[in-house]
């Protein structure tokens, strides 16, 4: 499996996780803790830079073995600013079936970067791995994430009732989107 799977778009580049970038990603999470904590339960687990470094080492191993969560840094090409992270879950390599997740620095949200990242990842998965299924799963109440999925031509397949607990403790539904692939 190819270890350096950097993916280039016209506005952004998706970079593999690295030990060197761990501090910058940690700082971005800390900066956006309140914003990210609305929908992402993992944020509360990011307590110290040392724990996050260990998590990053695990992410690098996952990336090298193409299993579990593949974490890509979303970086703006013209100034190399870290915008956020795209998570790619390898659900089943035999199908092949993938799930995409994403988060951005709140100050960069609403500028189309998440849509660009999802679009180039969807194209990459289709071309490089002949994906048969690509999903985005999001809290039904996360309207910004749902708009990204819809802008990227993902189709709402199902709403799973009372399927998740938000970090606030509220029960929410899960909106399941899939990308209609031709292969």
Q: By C-alpha distance, which of 130, 127, 125, 76 is closest to 104?
A: 76
For 13-68, what is each residue's pLDDT tens digit? 999 988 899 899 999 999 999 999 999 988 988 888 888 888 888 888 888 888 88
Q: By C-alpha distance, which of 36, 15, 14, 40 is closest to 27?
A: 36
Structural domains in the chain, CATH included, are 7-134 (3.40.630.30)
Q: By C-alpha distance, which of 105, 112, 79, 117 is closest to 27?
A: 105
Q: Which two structure tokens, joined as six digits, stand for 52? A: 């996050």
Q: For residue 38, how far is the Cα from the chain centroid?
A: 16
Confidence of residue 4 (pLDDT cuts 50, 70, 90): low
């Amino acid at each position: 499996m190819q270890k350096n799977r950097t993916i280039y778009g016209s506005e952004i580049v998706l970079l593999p996780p690295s030990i060197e970038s761990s501090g910058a990603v940690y700082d971005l999470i800390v900066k956006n803790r309140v914003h990210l904590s609305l929908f992402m339960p993992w944020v509360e687990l990011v307590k110290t830079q040392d724990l996050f470094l260990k998590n990053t080492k695990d992410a690098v191993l996952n990336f090298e073995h193409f299993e579990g969560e593949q974490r890509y840094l979303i970086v703006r090409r013209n100034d190399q600013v870290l915008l956020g992270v795209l998570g790619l879950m390898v659900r089943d390599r035999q199908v092949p079936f993938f799930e995409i997740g994403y988060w951005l620095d709140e100050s960069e949200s609403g500028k189309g970067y998440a849509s660009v990242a999802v679009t180039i990842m969807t194209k990459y998965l289709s071309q490089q791995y002949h994906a048969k299924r690509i999903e985005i799963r999001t809290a039904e109440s996360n309207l910004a994430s749902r708009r990204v999925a819809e802008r990227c031509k993902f189709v709402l397949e199902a709403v799973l009732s009372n399927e998740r607990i938000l970090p606030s403790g509220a029960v929410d539904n899960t909106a399941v989107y899939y990308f209609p692939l031709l292969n």
